[in-house]
Every structure is written in structure tokens, then in C-alpha cells.
Chains A and B, each alone.
Chain A
Amino acid sequence: MHALRGVSLEVMDGEIFGLLGPNGAGKSTLVKILMTVIHATKVSGAMLGKPIGDRLTLEDVGYLPEHHRFPYYLTGNQVLHHYGALAKVTRNDRNARASKLLNRLGLSGWENKKVGTYSKGMLQRLGIAQSLMNDPKLLILDEPTDGVDPVGRREIRNLLAELREEGRAVLLNSHLLSELEMVCDRVAIMVKGEVTMQGTIDSLTKDSKRYEITILGSIPDWATACCDEIQNNTMIIHGDDPVAIQPTLDRLRADNTTIISVKPVRENLEDLFMRAVDNKDSPGAIQ
């Protein structure tokens, strides 16, 4: 039985890459293989120019696992120092980064409190701070906004955008499609251990771009010939070229038809995700 098969991904510097898929798709397994938490039967590829599984590479990788658990007896500051030291960060760097990161993640004032007293959202933010202690070139975050309130989520989104600006590569694994859509440059959708779709959200939704023209009253007979779909009093014309819909609009005007709205529409990430998951004939689907 294979948890993952033929997964091929490329994450660039200064890019936020979203990894999405239903439960059991193998997203966390993939991330764990990259972080040497799981041993793959066979794996080829490189991470930061070194073979996957090379432990020294991990010095430049930050990782936030899903459902992480910090030792209850440590304070926030001690957590950062402990995991920083394990990541071979020198004491001076740890001292400099810990307070900066706690501040950046909105945890200043909590640095000397035991993590047992932290809320779920605070633990999540501390987890992100921990993953940044080694000043990583690649950041792998597994469900980073899990349990975080909307304000916190926005802060994390902003932080991710800043990290991108700093030239770091971020691999984001999340169920929250709307979050990913707002922040990711590219996404990959995994289903049953394989990547079924991969690219920028724009390129993946390109085929779904269309114009929806809603009119008052019933659709005239001639319209069936010049539009791709009709839904009640809405005409749907596929494509993203506004020039292509002008003749139809002219004719509607000439017929004195009242036009209620003309909307350019494209699939959102959720539609795309549902399409990838539902599409049993997708090239990567394991039957």
C-alpha cells in the first residue's frame, strides 16, 4: 500500500506554495517525509539543493507540525531557546531572535509564562515563531492557522507575505481554502496520494473563466446560439475576452432587453478543489 505515489512539486524562493487536499490525501505524510519524520520507501529530489532526507539541510528549514505539543513546563521564551538550540542556532542569535519573533507574532508579554497557560491560537503563533528561530530559507507550515481567531489569521497571512518578501520559500499545508487563496502564489491539490493539479490559481482556473449576463425576462431564442449555457434568465459565455461578449450585449440592447448585470466569473479555490476531488478520472487518481 502506498501513501504517496509519484508526487512531484517545485517550490521557488520567495513563493508561498499551498498544498491542499482532502483528509488522508497524504499532505502531512509528504511534509513528514521532507522533514525526515517518516522514512519514504523510495524518494528522489532535492530540498535546498541537497537530497531529501539529508539531515544537515534541516538547519535551514523551519517546520511547524500539525497538532504540535510543546513541553508544558517551558515558558514561551524557553520553547524558542530549546528548539533553537536543537536547530543549532547560537545563543546570541537565539537571544536576538526570540524576543523579536515573540513581538512579531503578538506574544510579547507572554514570553515568561508557561505554555500550559497559552490559548490554542497563542500556541499556534508560538509554533510559527519556533519554526522561524533558525532563520530558515524554507518554511513548512502544517495547518498554521488551526485554532487561530480571524484577527490572528490575518496577522499570520501578513507575516507570510512578509516572509515571501524576504525571499523565503513557504510550503503551506492547510484545509482553509479561502486562506490559501488569499496568500498562495501557487497551489497543488493532492488526492489519494497523488498531485492531481498544480500551478497558479489563475492558470488552474483559466478554463473556468466566463461572463454571466443576467437579463429581465426570458432569454430570447436567438441567444441559445451565441452563448455556451443558459441558466434561468442568465446567459453564460465561456472565456475571459470582454470583446467577445460585446455583440451579444449590442443585440440585447437592440431588442430593448433590460440587462440586470454582466459579471466576469471564475472558479474559486473551493470550486477547483471540489472539482479535483470529485473528478474520479483525474490523471493522478488512484482507482
Chain B
Amino acid sequence: MFAYIVRRILATIPVMAVVALFVFALLHLSPGDPAVIIAGDTATLDDIARIRQKLGLDQPLYIQFVTWVWGLLHGDLGISIFTNLPVSKLIAQRVEPTVTLTISTLIVSVLAAIPMGVLAAWKAGSWVDRVVMVFAVLGFSVPVFVLAYLLIYVFAIWTDLLPVQGFVTINAGLGPFLSHLVMPTLALGMVFAALIARMTRASMLDVLAQDYIRTAQAKGLANDKVLIGHALKNAAVPIATVVGIGVAALISGVVVTETVFAIPGLGRLTVDAILRRDYPIIQGIILVFSAAYVLINLLVDLSYTFLDPRIRY
């Protein structure tokens, strides 16, 4: 197991290198120039050229790439072109909101969706199953921003129970922290819960049709023990895969939620940086995202060994 983990971690190095090269090339070959954005409307072409020179953007691409990689190897993600702040600081400022939102969404979605999926499979074809499937279809169909605005209207404007926007750290108190998290979590969690509920239902239907389930029921085991102890455990591997993929998608997919609720997270940092061509930030974030994806996939793979003892590495 240990050797497997080491191998997987070492395998991330070439993956990150390819990502770094690809991202760098894509950014610098796509249209847009930060110097033009900085210079503003009144700038002359000479002004723009001088700003490019000061930013080092007039250097050949391979020199810019080597300079960036050299910085990376020394733990330096670079300096934001616009804010003049270290990229590592900007990312650090934004990690907490995104990770908090991702974890809260994960917890709420899993806790809501897995019981729904199990219940739907157990009562397949009944009204319970149909209600769960309607929820799943709605979860997939209603855009996040529509749900977000609806939540804002109901909970912030109409009833004044929750704040409209923003993020506060837990240091500001548990109440304010959770109150700022409720609506973004619900808005973002809807799609994720729908996905997990559908996957759980499908996986459970497969397992519930197995002989050993019939045997367990014939032995007189209680329904909850059959469902949780026997069926769900064996249905868990595909569910864990979906949850893992979903978490990776959540990290990068929180842009809309972060925008609507004005949460200063990594998603918005990425979009803002793309719009103004702040190359060091974009490159830094994508590297961090890549590392997070690799790590999440590793954790999902490792979870299989706990969920299914037959799987060994």
C-alpha cells in the first residue's frame, strides 16, 4: 500500500509538468494582453510596449516559461500583474472559502442524497421512488443561479433570516459563519445531491437483486441492517467514485455560486484573472487545482480498499 501511494505521488510530477506546459502555452497563445488592459483607454502603443517590457512580456515565450518554472521550483508562484501581490498570498486568501463551501456541500449532499438513493431503490417504483427521482431531475435541471436567486429572495429579502452575500470565517463566530454558508451550500449542493442520489439508487438496485440480499432477508435480518450493512456497503464503490469526481468538479465548479453570493473563493479568483489576463494567477491556480485533483483521485482509489476488501494495491 505504502509503495502504491509513493508511486502515485511520484506520478503526479509528470502530470503537473504537462499541465504547466499546456496551460502556459494556451494562455500565452490565446488573444488578450494584460499590458493593454493596464495601460487603459488613453494609452499609446508606445505606452503599451513599455508596460509589456516592464512585465517581461516582450521576452520570447521559452524564456518566460523557464523563468516561471524556475520560480516554481523555488516555491514561488509569481506576482500578480495587476495587484502586485504574490500569487501564493492571493490563493491562500481564497482557499478557505472554497474549501469550506466544498466541504459543507459535500457533507450536506452526501447526508441527504445517499439516504434518498437507498430509499428510492428500496421502494423502487413506489411514490417514494418517484419523489426522489423528481428531486434528482429538478436538481439537474434548475440552474444554480436560479436556485441561488430564489434562496436569496426567500431567506434574505422576504424573511430576512440569512445574509444576502459574503463569507465570514469561523473566527467571526459559529452563527455568522454558518448563516453565510447555508444558502451557497444549498444552491451548490442541489446538483451534487441529485447526482449522488441517482448513482446510489442505480447501484443499490443492482445490489438488491443479488442472491445474498435475498439470503439475508430470508435469515430474518431487519430491513435497515440489510440495506445499510449488506447492500449499501457493496454499492459504495461506484458511489465513492461519483463523490470523488464530484468533489473535483465542485472545486472548479463553484464559480457561479461564488459569484452570486459574492464569496471570495478560488473560482472567482480564476475567472477574474482570466478576464484581465493575469497570467501568473491563472497558472498558479491551475497548478493548485491539478494537484488537488490528483490528490482527490488518490484518496478515492484508496477508499476502495476500505469499502471492498477484495481490492488491493
Do chains A and B stick together as partners?
no
Chain A residues proximal to chain B, CB less than 8 Å: none
